[in-house]
Each structure stands twice: as C-alpha cells, then as structure tokens.
Structure 1
Amino acid sequence: MTAQPEQRQQRKPRAGEPSTMDAVRFRRVSRWLAQGLGGELADLYIDSRGASAAEEYRGRSRLDFLNRLTGDIRRPGFAMVIAETDDLVGCAFGFPVGRDGFWWLGFEGALPQSIEQLTVSGGVFAITDLLVRPHPQDRDVVRRLQEGLLSDHQASLGATLVDPDDHPTLASLRSWGWLDVGEVWRPAGPTMFRALVFPLGERTAARLTGLAREARTRWPG
C-alpha cells in the first residue's frame, strides 16, 4: 500500500465555480477489467510514491506491485474501486477477510477482542493497496475510495499490513484515520509487518476505543 504523504492546503471553490471533486468519477472495477488496467495501475503506483521513490524503486517496485495485483485478483471476493478524471487519480482494492481469522495468523500477542469479533462476524475487509496520485483534494479521494470499498462489502473495518520501514505510507495512513494495532509475522522470511485498521462509522470507532491511545504509546514515531 502506497500513498503520497504530503499535506496540502485545499483551495475552496469560489461561488459558482465547480468543485474539483465534481470532476473526479468513482467506479467499481471487475477483476477482468483490473487485469486490463495493470499497466495504468502500475504507473499510478509509481506516481503515488513521489518523484524520489519513483526513481529509486521504479523497476523492482513496479514489478512487485504487478505481482501483488495479480495475486489479489485471484482471491475470492476481490474488489476494486478507481477514481478518475481524464486519467487515473486513485484506486483501492482488496478482498474480504475470512471469518476463520487466517488473515491475522502471526499476530504478535493477543488480537484485540473487538477486532476478533468483527472478523468472526465477517465485518473486516483487507485493503491491500490504496493509491492516490498527487491531487488538489487527494484526502477526499482517499476517503471516498476506502469508505466506498468497505461499504460495498458491508464491512465496518478495513485492515492492511505495511512494511515497518515504509514510513511515508505509515504516515499517510495515520493521517487518514488508520490505527496501528500490532505486529504480524509471516513465515516466509521471516517478515514482520505493522497491522493497521480503519474503522468505518462511529459505532465501529467506539468499539476500538483505546487502540489509538495504545498505539501512540507503543509506536510514538
């Protein structure tokens, strides 16, 4: 998952002037269309990382992204929402987290009870990538992408795993309302990821009360 962390001042449209968001269209994309958009999505991935990261990781990261996209497209329940004007502005995709809790395999310590309950009830959706090209209202684009993807699947909690060294992405997710909840160790490597969740709606946020405070204590950076 990658995003541009830079914060921007958003200019409000003058009276009678159309909002920037009016020009952005959001639509759901089938797995077959997602396959056909692979090249454009990879360009979006590189652009969303910013100029310096694009130069440093253009070859390897582009290939890694395409491999990850191909794997996710094959998963049951795969879904994607894109934002576009004349070109792609952003996209979010992922798949439902199984009720068996396999997604959380390798979680360090005890999984918070509220998250476990939401998982068992089928209310968690894994957003494996959330991309946004630098845009005057990119925060609004991100909000509509992630909330739309969760709402479409009647999920009340988004979940994702991030490389702990990917500081720009972690900073962006936190600024968009995601919460650190722990560490997940995967057997291949072994590799450690930071687990983050995004509560959709006030009721879900209330169920996760205390996680944000605990996260700031455990990971202040």
Structure 2
Amino acid sequence: MFLRRLTRWQAETQRESVAGLYAAAHRDPPAAAHALQREDFLRRFTGHDIQRPGFEMVIGSDPAPAGCCYGYPADREGEWPGTYAAGPWGDRVPPGEVGEAAAAGRLFLVAGLMVLPAYRRTGVATRLMQTLLLRSTATLALAVIAADNAPARAAFRSWGWRPWDGGPSGDGPAGPQPEAWIRPLP
C-alpha cells in the first residue's frame, strides 16, 4: 500500500476517483444505512470540504485507490460544517475542551475516512489516520461516526480516541444520532 498526501488541487482533480472510492466503501452494512448518495458526497466534498482552509488529505493506493482520510482545522469563528453542527450548540462553537481547542485554533476535524472492504482489518485505516494527523499542529482531533458502526467505533477506540460526551447523542428525527469522538494530539 502506497500512501501519499494530496494537495487541495490534486484532491479536486481526483474528485471522481474519491467519489467512486466513497461509493464502493459504503456498499456494505452498517455504513450503508447512513451513506450519502455518491452525488451528495461529491457535492459536499468539492463544494465544502476541499474549500476549507488547511484541508489535508491522504490517499492509499494499491495501485488503484483503496482508502483515504481527510480533514481540516476547525473554524475559529465557529462555523461548524454539516455533521459537526448536529449537536445542541447548533452552528456555534461547542463548550468545554472541544470549544476551547477550536477557539485557540487547535482543533482538527477529521471529515472523512473510508477504506474499501477488501482492505479493512489490514492496518490501512490506521496508517491513513496516523499520516493525516502527523503534521497537524492541533492539540485535539474530532471525528463523527455513524452511531451503529461498531467496527468504526472499535477502530477509533483502538487508536486512542474516546467518545465525546458533548457531542450529539440519542435518537433524532432520522434515527440514532452520529457519535462524536475526540483524541488529544501530541
């Protein structure tokens, strides 16, 4: 597996490959229950995620894309994107350690992690996440995962992440709310 960082421009030019990877990675349950349609993913990825200041992306290839991980620093002014604005704080910076890290410009949001089923449980996701966070100057990372995704929950726990009790919880209008997970960064 070859890992490489992509610049914002490279991520933009690879958007169709990333959307194909997203669709293929979310075919199997439990992720399929919460997967966006390919077009919705592509619209969010190119219209929002790539545009964020500090966008970082790591892709794993063998030789075709097998997985990727991407994210960006949280906005100091509290403009929280999509899944991060799902908590009781709305679009404001949340309270506590997450809000403090965001206000100080030291919070990194992991916006996406996907690995093709054939490469799961082989260490690819671990390497992607480590490589993504390696150069970050943040002191805390935040990720949101589907509430019913037990394999993702187990992976995040094994990487030293913990559930954030200030994140969304319980059932919403569309069923179980996604779970927010945090991890201090060195």
Q: Are 2:38 and 1:62 equivalent residues in the alignment?
A: yes
Following the alignment from structure 1 to structure 2, what is the Cα–Cα distance between the partners of residues 117 and 67?
30
1:147-196 deviation line (CA, Å, top 9, x unaligned): 221222222322123454xx12x5414433232213349xxx99954322
Q: Which residue of 88, 103, 112 maps to 1:108? A: 88
8 A Cα contact 2:66 2:119, kept in partner: no
8 A Cα contact 1:46 1:54, kept in partner: no
Q: Are 2:141 and 1:155 equivalent residues in the alignment?
A: no
Q: Are 2:31 and 1:47 equivalent residues in the alignment?
A: no
Question: 2:43 is aligned with what amino acid?
Answer: N
Following the alignment from structure 2 to structure 1, what is the Cα–Cα distance between the partners of residues 67 and 125?
8
8 A Cα contact 1:47 1:54, kept in partner: no
Following the alignment from structure 2 to structure 1, what is the Cα–Cα distance between the partners of residues 98 and 168?
14
Following the alignment from structure 2 to structure 1, what is the Cα–Cα distance between the partners of residues 67 and 7?
16
Q: Which is richer in helix?
A: 1
Following the alignment from structure 2 to structure 1, what is the Cα–Cα distance between the partners of residues 88 and 31?
32
Alignment root-mean-square deviation, CA: 3.4
Instruction: State the Cα distance separating 1:28 from its structure 2 match.
Output: 0.8
Q: Are 2:91 and 1:145 equivalent residues in the alignment?
A: no
Following the alignment from structure 2 to structure 1, what is the Cα–Cα distance between the partners of residues 179 and 31?
23
| 1:205 aligned partner | none
| 1:172 aligned partner | 152
Instruction: State the Cα distance separating 1:44 from its structure 2 match.
Output: 1.2
| 2:10 aligned partner | 33
Unaligned runs of 5+ in 2: none
Judge which range, 98-107 or 40-49, deviates more: 98-107
Q: Percent identity?
A: 29
8 A Cα contact 2:57 2:71, kept in partner: yes
Q: Are 2:106 and 1:130 equivalent residues in the alignment?
A: no
Instruction: State the Cα distance separating 1:105 from its structure 2 match.
Output: 5.5
How many residue pairs are counted as aligned between the two chains? 171
Unaligned runs of 5+ in 1: 1-23, 202-221
| 1:197 aligned partner | 182
